[in-house]
Amino acid sequence: MKQLHTLAARTLKIVDCLTDHRRNAALRMQVGAIHIDHSKQRLDAAVWQALLALAETRQVSQGIARMFAGEKINHTEGRAVLHVALRAPAGNYVVDGKNILPEVHAVQARMRAMTEEIQSGAWRGVSGQKIERVINIGIGGSDLGPRMVCTALNAHTPMRLDTRFVANVDPTDLALALRGADPHRTLFVVTSKTFTTTETLMNAQAARAWLQATLGEDVGRHFVAISAFPERAAAFGIPPAQVLPMWDWVGGRYSLWSAVGLPIALAFGYEVFAELLAGAHLMDEHVRQQQLNMAVQMALIAHWNSDYLGASSQLVIPYSEALARLPAFLQQLELESNGKRVNHQGELIQSSVPALWGEVGSNSQHAFFQWLHQGTQIAPVDFIVLKQQAGLSRAQTQTLNANALAQARALMLGQTHADPHREFPGNRPSSMIVLDSLNAHSLGQLIALYEHKVLVQGILWGINSFDQFGVELGKAIANQIVPVLQKNAAAESKIAEFDDSTQHLLHILAAAGVD
Ligand code: F6P
């Protein structure tokens, strides 16, 4: 794409680009409850045309269609990628010649029934008491999505059941979630697609021991499991009727729409979960039907920033406390999906996804915005603002939104000053994402939008966005190290096989911890 490199070599000023009203209009879009304005990005009409041509060359539309058609686009694992089927009310989503929707809807019916049973109190613990606290045990995609959604919606709708999340293998996480909990009235949802994840299994065992200390041996009634391997959950001692399935065509980081979303339904009611699905489906249909859709627009701009302007970070700054967990969720979504270094053919590629990070505004202004404004790197920002926020007055909403607008404008305009310490270079790009309000429906749209952005980015780079082999090596080495630290004689005899640095640290850490 020589032309894009030539275009990137120019010194383009965002403020100058903004005088082109046709270009500005092309960089704005409204879908459902989401309005996006990319006009403060550092690109002009010529760049935009070249990016649209790139989308054609890279066959973005065909790539999107392949996902919806259930093709095994996760070719390294031989899997289809059909999280979109989880939010489809009707249609034909085919895997291996079979429409998967009837099975999806059957599991949703079980989720609904289970939710109603638990919320109404028909579901009793072993001593006949109603459930009051729900603790989800899971990590990565089995935690971040439902946790983020519950945090977001809790600001809007009070939880019907006190729903908490435990992910870390550090037992402090579980201990904090158990503070004030009554074993008679606590239900654990063990969420693990594989049901082999060390952190989750250790936490589930600790949870079981905590229940058994008060309730006796038989505590199965206090567990629900979500897994693609129900037999493994059954082997853990969870009755099969309390195990909800998921499928290999749903990636962990795309799984909050499956039974992995059960904590969302338990916290707010199944109808709220259904609204989330409906919002996502609205975005799916937009992306499926419109060639130049909101996700393609976002992905092309992100591609320009990373591959042509050299941005090594992407920031997400929601001006909403309710969206506090969104950056952490997007981190897994974008980085586990597109943190790759080879293309489909296994050849090395020059660039892939920049680091994604962020924090709520206005807190982040007082933390790392100095770096954004005057640091040596350029990091594009997605500002997220809401027209209305639950529990906030008009004036309070205005304060938040004024801050977001001011930061975006300051990044773009900069400030000339005789004193270089007080000078702001400006010309720093950002996009503004405006949500009508935050509810399950609009949140579903927003999450699905980022999911599709990730898909399109992957198509542009020619990579498989849906495997995650990069997390395996560290897990395998941890399994070698644990027995050494536990002073297992056989493992200790192999200590010399470790490199000098690891051996040095193993000696220091061998005595760590208290019994
Ligand atoms: O971190 C790696 C990973 O495999 C993620 O992709 C996944 O979301 C997480 O672990 C949890 O996996 P599981 O749901 O199988 O416990």
Tell me what pLDDT residue 493 has.
83
Cβ–ligand 1 contact at 200 (below 6 Å): yes
* Region at 180 (left for phi over 0; alpha for psi -120 to 50; beta for the rest): left
Tell me what pLDDT residue 494 has.
84
Residue 222 known to be catalytic: no
Cβ–ligand 1 contact at 337 (below 6 Å): no
Task: Give me the chain's average pLDDT, please.
Answer: 97
Tell me what pLDDT residue 487 has.
84
Burial label for 71, CB within 10 Å (0-12, 13-18, 19+), is: middle
pLDDT at 207 over 90: yes
Coil vs helix vs strand at 102:
helix
Tell me what pLDDT residue 1 has.
66
**Token output for 447:** 């999450």
Rounded distance from Cα 141 to ligand 1 centre (Å) = 6
Greatest Cα pair distance in the chain: 75
Cβ–ligand 1 contact at 141 (below 6 Å): yes
- Nearest atom in ligand 1 to 199's CA: 16
> Residue 409 carries which side chain, given as an amino acid letter?
R
Which backbone phi and psi does 292 adopt, to 5 degrees?
-95, 90
> Residue 334 carries which side chain, given as an amino acid letter?
E
Residue 336 known to be catalytic: yes
> Bridge partners of 226?
191, 244
* Region at 126 (left for phi over 0; alpha for psi -120 to 50; beta for the rest): alpha
Across residues 122-143, what is the average pLDDT?
98
pLDDT at 445 over 90: yes
Distances in Å between the alpha carbon of 458 and those of 68, 296, 462?
15, 11, 6
Banded pLDDT at 189 (limits 50, 70, 90): very high
Q: 2, 366, 421, 472: which is the annotated catalytic residue?
A: 366
For ligand 1, atom 9: residue with the closest CA = 140
For ligand 1, atom 5: residue with the closest CA = 140
Across residues 141-154, what is the average pLDDT?
98
pLDDT at 513 over 80: no
Rounded distance from Cα 160 to ligand 1 centre (Å) = 28
Q: 13, 475, 494, 507: which is the annotated catalytic residue?
A: 475
Banded pLDDT at 492 (limits 50, 70, 90): confident
C-alpha triplet 502, 508, 509: angle, nearest 5°: 85
pLDDT at 224 over 80: yes
Rounded distance from Cα 109 to ligand 1 centre (Å) = 25
The answer to whether the bond into 255 is cis (omega within 30° of 0) is: no
Q: Which residues contact 177 (CB under 8 A, 6 or more apart)?
A: 135, 164, 165, 166
- Nearest atom in ligand 1 to 255's CA: 8
Cβ–ligand 1 contact at 208 (below 6 Å): no
Give the C-alpha separation, 412 to 344, whole Å. 37
Cβ–ligand 1 contact at 151 (below 6 Å): no
**Token output for 377:** 């790197």
Neighbours of 111 (CB within 10 A): 22
Residue 243 · residue 50 · CB < 8 Å: no
Across residues 494-510, what is the average pLDDT?
93
Residue 366 known to be catalytic: yes
Residue-wise pLDDT for 389-433, tens only, equals 999 999 999 999 999 999 999 999 999 999 999 999 999 999 999
For ligand 1, atom 3: residue with the closest CA = 140
Q: Distance from CA of residue 393 to its chain's centroid? A: 29
Say what the pTM is.
Answer: 0.97
Lowest mean pLDDT among 36-45, 186-195, 474-483: 474-483
pLDDT at 368 over 80: yes
The share of the chain scoring above pLDDT 70, in percent, equals 100
Residue-wise pLDDT for 281-333, tens only, equals 999 999 999 999 999 999 999 999 999 999 999 999 999 999 999 999 999 99
**Token output for 168:** 């870390």
Across residues 456-460, what is the average pLDDT?
98
The residue behind tokens 């229940």 is 211
pLDDT at 346 over 70: yes
Residue-wise pLDDT for 459-470, tens only, equals 999 999 999 999
Neighbours of 116 (CB within 10 A): 14
**Token output for 182:** 């009554």
Banded pLDDT at 511 (limits 50, 70, 90): confident
The H or E element spanning position 202 is helix 198-215
Across residues 73-86, what is the average pLDDT?
98
Q: Distance from CA of residue 155 to its chain's centroid? A: 19
Cβ–ligand 1 contact at 471 (below 6 Å): yes
- Nearest atom in ligand 1 to 253's CA: 8
> Bridge partners of 322?
none
Rounded distance from Cα 139 to ligand 1 centre (Å) = 6
Cβ–ligand 1 contact at 329 (below 6 Å): no
Q: Give the relative orientation of helices 60-68 and 440-461 as an angle to the nearest 10 degrees.
A: 120
Rounded distance from Cα 148 to ligand 1 centre (Å) = 16
